[in-house]
Structure 1
Amino acid sequence: MFALQEAFSMLHGGDQSVLDLATATGMPDSTVHRILQSGLSGGAIDQICRGKYRPGPTIIKIAMHAMAHVPSAATTQRLLTGLHDATGGAALLFALTPFGGLRRLCTDYAWGDLDPGELGVFAHPLVTHSRSLRTGASGRVILAHLPAPLQELVFAEELPADAAPGAIRDNDALAATLTQIRQSGYAVAQEEVVPGWDAIAAPVMWGDIAMGSVLLAKPKADMPADLSKLIEHTRDTARKLSALTAAPTSHI
C-alpha cells in the first residue's frame, strides 16, 4: 500500500489504471489489483470507474491530522509577532489549500499597533480573499516549490481581475521568477497585490514541498533601499516554522 501511495504521487494524482500503477511500482498487475481492492472498503482507495482508481478520503484524513498539529497556533502567533517586532511591518502566515483549486489562505497574522482600518485595501485582498498563487510574493514562493504538474495548473489560470498593475502576467516571466525564488529562498513583490505596498515572502517547507509562506508587508515608502535585514528576518521566521513542521516536538 505504501508503494501504491508513492506511485500515485509519482503519477501526480488523478485517476490511474492498474497497469499504470503496476508499471510505477514494479509489482505484478494481480498484486496491485488485490491491494487496490482491499483498500476500497476502508476508504483508502476510491474506484472511479472500471479499472480506474485514486486515493480515497482516508488518505486525506491522515494528511489533515498530520497538518493540524504542525506547527501549533500559539507557536505561529509567537513567531509572527517576533517578525513584526523586529521589522515594524505586517507579518502574515499563508497556508496552501488545494480544495477548489490551488489557493493560498491567510491563517494568522501579527501587526501590533498598526491600525487595520488604516490598512484598508491592504487587509481586504491579503486577509479576506483566497488568492491565486500567480500573484504576490506569498503566492509565488509556494508555487516555486510545487511539483511541475501543479504549477501547470496555476499557469493555466487567468490572472485575477483585481490584480495590481505590478503583477506578472506572462507565463515565461513567471517561470523564470520561480527559478530565481528556488535559488534565493525568498520573493519580493513591489506593489504587486496592493498599490502602495511592497512585500517579502519565504516558503514554509515540509520536506521539499511548500505548505505555506511567511509574508512581511510594509508601505512602499517605509521599505529601505537595502532589503537584506528584512529578508533575513522573514526567512528566519519561515525556517523556524519549517523546522517545527518537520519535527513538531522540538522547541524553537
Structure 2
Amino acid sequence: MGNSITASGSSASAAATTSASDTNGTPRHTPSRSKTVRQAPKSAPTAGPRTSGSGHAERVFLVQTAFAELGGSAHGPGEIAEFTGLDDSVVYRILQSGIYQRIFERVDRGLYRLRTSAAQLAFTALDHGLDGATSQTVLRELRMATDGGLAFLYMVAPFSGAQRQCVDMAVGDSDLAELGMTPRDVLSVTRSLRTGASGRTILAYLPEVLQQRVLAEPVPDQAGPGVFRDNDALLASLAEVRDLGHALGYEECMAGWNSCAAPIMWDGAIMGAALLLKLKSVMPVAPDNVIEATKEAAAELSRYGAARPAADQP
C-alpha cells in the first residue's frame, strides 16, 4: 500500500484490548432505578465490565470513569447516569461532593468535567515508571540488534491524550539534519498520531473517542509520501496493529525512511511505542529480525514501566 505495512495488527496482548474501549453496542445489565433498568444506547460508548455498583465507592469510581470513556469536555448528570446505569440523583450527589474534593468542577449550568488536579493522580501513579538509564539501555540494545538502526522511545504526550512526543533515542552520531528533519518537523509531523509506525501504534490502542479526535485532524503538511490520508485505510491499519502487535511504516513521516514500531503497555493501557528507523535503501522491507527486536524492546520497556508489587509482597 506504500504506507504501513504488510500488516500492523491487533492487540499485542489481551490487556491491550482494554484500552481500545468496548464499542460493539451490546447492551449491558445495569443497576435499576426504582423499577426500571437503564442501558446505554447502542450509539454511545459502553461502560467497562463491572459488578452491581451497590457500594458507594464503586459508584464514585464509575462516575470518574465515565468522564474518560465518554470523551468530550463536559457532561451532565443525566448523561453520566445513562452511561453508568446509576440514578440521576446519585450521580448529582457524587458530582457535588467531587467539587468539594477538587476532583470535578462545574463549567456551565448542569455541566461538569474532571479538574486538572486529577492529572496529579496520574503523575503520582507513574512515579514508578522508566528512568533514563533503563530506556537508554533498551534502545541501545535495539540499535545493536538491528545493525545500527535508529531507535526511539515515543510516549503519549502528558498534556494531550491524542499526541505523542519523543522522550529518548539511541542514534549514535546521527542528528536531525542527517535525518532530513528540522526541529519544526519534530513538533509538527512526529507528534501526530496519524503519521508514522509509532503514531499509529499508539493510536491503535487509544479509546475510540480519542481515535475519532485524531481522525478529524488534518494530515501534517510535512508528512512523507507514504502517510495514510484516507481515514478508512488508517482505521484498517489500526486493526492490523492490534492483530500483529506491531506496525511497519513506509516513508510515512519523511521520504526515504522506513520504520517498525511496537506498543508499550503499562497495566493494560497504552503508554507509548518503541520505534526502529532505517533508510529505505537499507531496509526496503523490515525483515523478521528487525520486527522481533523492536517487539522485544517494547516488551522490555513494558515490563520495566508497569506497576509491580514491592519485593516483600507476593
TM over 0.5: yes
Q: Residues 62-109 of structure 1: CA distance to partner in whole angstroms, max 9, x if unpaired?
A: 012223431222211111111112111111001112636721110100
The residue aligned with 2:299 is: 239
Equivalent position SS for 2:205: coil
CA distance in 2, matches of 1:208, 1:247: 11
Q: Which has the higher strand share?
A: 1
CA distance in 1, matches of 2:181, 2:142: 18
CA distance in 2, matches of 1:76, 1:247: 16
The residue aligned with 1:18 is: 77
The residue aligned with 2:130 is: 71
The residue aligned with 1:57 is: 116
| Contact residue 71 and residue 248 of structure 1 kept, 8 A | no
State the AA in 2 paired with 1:241.
L
CA distance in 2, matches of 1:26, 1:107: 40
Unpaired runs of 5+ in structure 2?
1-59
Unpaired runs of 5+ in structure 1?
none
CA distance in 2, matches of 1:167, 1:125: 18
Query: Is 2:172 the counterpart of 1:172?
Result: no
Q: Residues 23-70 of structure 1: CA distance to partner in whole angstroms, max 9, x if unpaired?
A: 333333222222211111332101111211111122111012223431
CA distance in 1, matches of 2:116, 2:110: 19
TM-score normalised to structure 1 length? 0.89
Q: 1:250 to 1:173 in 2, by over 3 A?
A: farther
The residue aligned with 2:61 is: 2
Q: Residues 125-182 of structure 1: CA distance to partner in whole angstroms, max 9, x if unpaired?
A: 7755552111111100011111112111111111101111111111111111111111
| Range with bigger deviation, 94-103 or 187-196 | 94-103
Q: What's the % identity of the aligned pairs?
A: 42
Q: Match for 2:266 among 206, 209, 212?
A: 206
CA distance in 1, matches of 2:126, 2:186: 21
Q: Which has the higher contact order (CA 8 A, sep 6+)?
A: 2
Q: Residues 186-235 of structure 1: CA distance to partner in whole angstroms, max 9, x if unpaired?
A: 11111221222111011111344321111001112222756110000100
CA distance in 1, matches of 2:187, 2:75: 36
| Range with bigger deviation, 66-75 or 137-146 | 66-75
| Contact residue 244 and residue 250 of structure 1 kept, 8 A | no
Q: 1:29 to 1:221 in 2, by over 3 A?
A: same
CA distance in 2, matches of 1:249, 1:107: 26
CA RMSD of aligned residues (A): 2.4
The residue aligned with 2:191 is: 131
| Contact residue 106 and residue 126 of structure 1 kept, 8 A | no
Say how many residue pairs are matched. Answer: 250
| Contact residue 246 and residue 263 of structure 2 kept, 8 A | yes
CA distance in 2, matches of 1:36, 1:67: 26
